[in-house]
Amino acid sequence: MKVLLFARARDLIGADRIDVDAVATIGELRRRLMRQYPHVAGLLEKSAFAVNEEFADDNVTILDGAEVALLPPVSGG
């Protein structure tokens, strides 16, 4: 599955989308990314995720083909 990256997360990981092995939930994805990118762990802990352009907390299930995005704390305005 693909995960879209933005802002500092994208800069630290060095790509605007990454491929990760399929996981069942957002919580699992968060933990997987924290292991895979330990230098981004602090930001990952504070970040939100979106599934199909809707905020998704850790217990949300990721269905096949969903668009998943990692959203660091927003600062628009």
| Alpha helices for the chain (secondary structure H) | 7-13, 26-36, 41-46
* 74 near other proteins (CB under 8 A): yes
Count of all residues that appear for the chain in the document: 77
- Which of these segments, 5-13, 18-26, 29-37, 58-66, binds other proteins (CB under 8 A)? 5-13
DSSP state of 55: E
Beta bridge partners of 3: 18, 68
For residue 70, the minimal CB distance to other proteins (Å) is 10
For Cα atoms 53, 56, 62, give the angle at the middle one, nearest 5 degrees.
85
* 7 near other proteins (CB under 8 A): yes
- Which of these segments, 1-9, 17-25, 26-34, 56-64, binds other proteins (CB under 8 A)? 1-9
Residues near other proteins (CB under 8 A): 4, 6-8, 11, 42-43, 46-47, 50, 53-54, 69, 71-77
